[in-house]
Structure 1
């Protein structure tokens, strides 16, 4: 795959992408992966986006598909990421720096040069078949969105869910897309067994703001409709206001909690915006472009949340923030949850692990 970065017409790019630039990133000089042509979505065609910013998809062939973590402030120890990079283009995405591992920029490259893992289901089947595998809930959507637009064509996420459903393996999905409803035929029976739950991210109810911070994610009303349909189908569903951006989206806390309650969500949570590594300069440039009238105020509050810095990587603090603004935000969420009848945020979601069994024919496939 050619990693050269042609000149971009920024005036056109801003209309359909999140990042306003494509800064050079840390470079690891890793081997290039297998190119698979490019994929152009409907919005590219409608907006007449320049060819240099068309989305490309490259096949990635990892040896394993389950990622492990030992972070004490993350409620899962394993996850699957069907894709690398994300076309939703959320400017705040903490996964942007991971594109450095492919010698690509966390800016526009992260949104336009995507990687798909078509062998994910087969790899998962092999890992679940290992004699020593100990079942715990699997998370999806912890890095990049499993229901970003290319899932429509590649269906990697669906393939993974099919394997998990076959094995009665618990699954928790986080997404900001109503495309999750396309797999309701799998999730509904899993939920009836206590094996599936979904969190839908809703950061703003104002279309103009939502399209600015998450330019290619579905409209917030479509996400809330997905919450209602999941709830009606018996799938435990939660709403996550992640992230809350000071002086831009924090005024919507009460409205989002109210709409989540009306849609049938079991809980509502939040995370203050995080700006690790290269995300901070991208976010600052985005503020200067889209919110020049309040850029200084936004960063001042973020710095107060993060101990005087753009980011605080310490466990627990990174998810909660510190200081008066963070405490006020927590208090507002607590009051809103009580007011609208979603006062179960401290209630831990329980997914069953005792039903798990290896894939059918697993031993025969291993030898």
Structure 2
């Protein structure tokens, strides 16, 4: 990779290496912020490259990336997956979240990285976590979804490239890779309508709507507006109350609006309906926002392994660009899902 410097001469990695007395491979790794190269040497290489007027050739950079992704790379560095769940086993017990891990791990291996889990808890404080990561030369972090908000305290985000999965983490405000919940909900509404359902409802916990920026509701309203011959039912947002109060809210909504099908985030909705003497799918059909981690087999496949893969690729680009810390403007990459037919929502269009 080279480009003409101020003198008009093509500046190469070997030129930079010769000026510093190091190999061209060291220069290449330093410019990509590889953890094998010390921070001091990385800074020296970047400074000299700028001084000499070096810029990478985009075609050669693309070729190098292609080669790294197509060959079996030796594992030379690690990417951190931060787990702050009270019981760490609960995180990947969710099939959706485990698929994030699988997708990210497989992608990382193609680029010579190993995905490793690190804890954040009373024994591993933010300060201790940073010490471990810094000692290991780890500069890339993946943050999976969390039901509780971790206490990051004074964690030095400026030392790391960071990507989070989903929107449950309110902090840090870093780049996101997640499912396209608006498009997925519109797709589900259309598919349910095609299968003969006209009174399509939506049921979720109210706190999920807040975490997800009301995106499910936007998709639900969008689906209603795109289809003329459907009854526009209001969504049911269940608040955190006593079980009897939740049951009463569901019963009142069912009695008033009489849905023939429900799209839901709730994994236990079929059991809740059974307590109201309604069976799925005979009395009411149900589809899920994700077909994983639930006994509802109709609904959306959010392609979580692809979300994991894209999450790593985004992180890898940040590492290679030297982008560290919390960005002023964070990016969101949305992965569209696919509809899956199942027994919980039979076709009644005939």
TM-score (norm 2): 0.27
TM-score (norm 1): 0.26
Pair member with larger Rg = 2
